[in-house]
Structure 1
């Protein structure tokens, strides 16, 4: 089974403007929508499109949390959220005008009792399961919680997938995660320099592999992606043609596609192709990628 963890889920209130955002003025929308989000939830959503079952774990609170849970269940996702006693699941405002502007909520405090309930859920995982940890950690939690999770579950035959930044990512490397997915800028931040070109990106990815990562997938937005797989082989792929209208969830969609592609084929090359198709399908859509768009783009990717 695939499990995803979203520590700080959100309802994204997406606003499309008729003109560039004018600060201090009244702005009119041309369209608006509410989307249920959070990086792990996004991964689960695209996995569902690809026919892969998963269970979304995490925390919710208040009426917004109840709404999020109902919405995800109606969409066909299996969830096992822990209800917090106080606060509310955050609402993020995504303004799409001439430029994208985001205002993200902070979310509720996660109590020690709620964290213990998550530990109890994670105790179910064992040989052959996949655990996806994605996104930032709320300030109410220890900032090494990813490391704690991998340390606690180490040795059980679980394949860990981690999409995080800086220390959050680096500290899990000794536990040999199956896949890590920094983008090229995040990879550069780890080593304190800007990475230019495939050779420098490959060298940096190889250093993370030497420190424990099995597979390193580096996304590069419109420049495609580079995969250093556990055999040491380097796979390079571009992006299909299309108009980018949405940046939210594209990286999560790539992670979902990679997982599904590898499970279906056992091929890292195909996993990269399907991951790229999923990430691009989301980038070219107003919401998360749908199967028909993924399949159409996959046919165009070599």
Structure 2
């Protein structure tokens, strides 16, 4: 079973204006609510390939209920811990420039995290896959991520981690199956500047030396570089297209990668589908539909370095 964890999920409120002017009355041309949160993006993409997942985390208030309704309409299983306060709403303003206003979300009490952790312990079985995506909710710290990483290691569960520098590095000793920093996040981890593919490979290898089994570095429109546990390095080139929305592209790459790897156990094929999924979401308002992903597959080029 696939479990996606989003500690601070959201409703993403997309608003489009022709020419936004600060301090003035602006008329909205179009608006829509979409499911937000990195782990939930993974669940959405997996569902496009009819791969089941169960979304876990914390949820609250009328916004949380609406978020659950949206998941159920897409037949995505969920088992959230209810908390006080409202699940956050993030505003994504589309005008001449792309502007985001992300809310903080509710504060998580210690007893609520312990309830979540007990729930996870009861659910996990050997060879399950856990996607831990995004950052901490208020009231949590890096030890909460480490407990999940340790639990996955003890239960022989595939642990997939996509988060910030502190949370990624704190979990490396538990040998996550896959981590997915983007180019800037990789640079931040080592407090350096990364420009070339050679730079990416150099620092991704260091993450493997620190415990990561496989490292997938997303490079935006330029594709991705994958370093595998069997010491192979693959480079993907993405498909051309018009950027519509960058939110969720990295999550889609991660989900597409694992969707293929779980069935074929081919790192090369997984990188190809992951790159296509990431590009397709970048070309879409929300998480990409399978039809668009499939149409990009022949345009994705993979080679071994």
Range class of TM-score, shorter chain: over 0.9
After TM superposition, the structure 1 = structure 2 runs for residues 187-206 of structure 1, keeping only pairs within 5 Å, are: 187-206=186-205
3-state SS, counterpart of residue 15 of structure 1: strand
3-state SS, counterpart of residue 295 of structure 2: helix
TM-score (norm. length: structure 1):
0.97
Q: Which runs of 5+ in 2 are unaligned?
A: none
State the 4+ residue runs in structure 1 displaced beyond 6 angstroms.
Answer: none
After TM superposition, the structure 1 = structure 2 runs for residues 133-152 of structure 1, keeping only pairs within 5 Å, are: 133-152=132-151
After TM superposition, the structure 1 = structure 2 runs for residues 171-190 of structure 1, keeping only pairs within 5 Å, are: 171-190=170-189
- Give the total of aligned pairs: 300
Report what 1:210 is aligned to.
Answer: 209
8 Å Cα contact 2:180/2:218 also seen in 1:
yes
After TM superposition, the structure 1 = structure 2 runs for residues 1-302 of structure 1, keeping only pairs within 5 Å, are: 1-19=1-19, 21-84=20-83, 86-123=84-121, 124-302=123-301
3-state SS, counterpart of residue 91 of structure 1: strand
3-state SS, counterpart of residue 140 of structure 2: coil
> Hey, what's the Cα distance between the residues in 1 that align with 2:169 and 2:91?
30
> Hey, what's the Cα distance between the residues in 2 that align with 1:299 and 1:290?
16
Q: Which runs of 5+ in 1 are unaligned?
A: none
TM-score (norm. length: structure 2):
0.96
Evaluate the alpha carbon distance shift between residue 183 and residue 43 of structure 1 in structure 2; reply closer, same or farther with a 3 A threshold: same
> Hey, what's the Cα distance between the residues in 2 that align with 1:215 and 1:51?
25
- CA shift, 1:138, in A, is 1.5
